[in-house]
Amino acid sequence: MSATKKVALITGANKGLGLETARQLGRQGITVLLGARDLAKGEAAAAALKKDGIDARAVKLDVDHAADYPAVAKLIEKEFGRLDILVNNAGVLLDGRKGNETSKTSAEMLRKTFDTNFFAVVALTQALLPLIRKSEAGRIVNLSSILGSLTLHATKGSPIYDAKTFAYDASKAALNSFTIHLAHELAGTKIKVNSAHPGWVKTDMGGEGAQLEIEEGGKTSVELATLPENGPTGGYFHLGKPLPW
pTM of the complete model beyond 0.85: yes
pLDDT at 209: 55
Residue 112 lies in a domain: no
Residue 170 lies in a domain: no
CA–CA dist 78, 80 (Å, integer): 6
State yes or no: is 5 an active-site residue.
no
Residue 200 lies in a domain: yes
pLDDT at 96: 78
pLDDT at 97: 74
pLDDT values of the chain reduced to their tens digit, one per residue, 245 residues: 445 799 999 999 999 999 999 999 999 999 999 999 999 999 999 999 999 999 999 999 999 999 999 999 999 999 999 999 999 999 999 997 788 999 999 999 999 999 999 999 999 999 999 999 999 999 999 999 999 999 999 999 999 999 999 999 999 999 999 999 999 999 999 999 999 999 765 455 545 554 657 677 899 999 999 999 999 999 999 999 999 99
Given the residues 6, 69, 172, 219, the one annotated as active site:
172
Write the CB contacts of 20 (distance below 8 Å, at least 6 apart in sequence). Answer: 214, 215, 217, 218
Q: Which of 118, 115, 108 is nearest to 145 (CA)?
A: 118
Residue 195 lies in a domain: yes
Whole domain around residue 139: which residue ranges?
A: 7-91+123-145+175-242
What is the domain count for the chain?
Answer: 1
Residue 215 lies in a domain: yes
pLDDT at 32: 98
State yes or no: is 236 an active-site residue.
no
Q: What is the CATH number of the domain that holds 58?
A: 3.40.50.720
pLDDT at 3: 57
Residue 155 lies in a domain: no
Concatenating the DSSP letter of every residue in the chain gives --TTS-EEEETT-SSHHHHHHHHHHHTTT-EEEEEESSHHHHHHHHHHHHHTT--EEEEE--TT-TTHHHHHHHHHHHHTSS--EEEE------S-SSS--GGG--HHHHHHHHIIIIIHHHHHHHHHHHHHHTSSS-EEEEE--GGG-HHHHTSTTSTTTT---HHHHHHHHHHHHHHHHHHHHTTTSS-EEEEE---SBSSTTT-TT-SB-HHHHTHHHHHHHT--TT---SEEEETTEE---
Residue 235 lies in a domain: yes
CA–CA dist 216, 227 (Å, integer): 18
Given the residues 6, 168, 202, 219, the one annotated as active site:
168
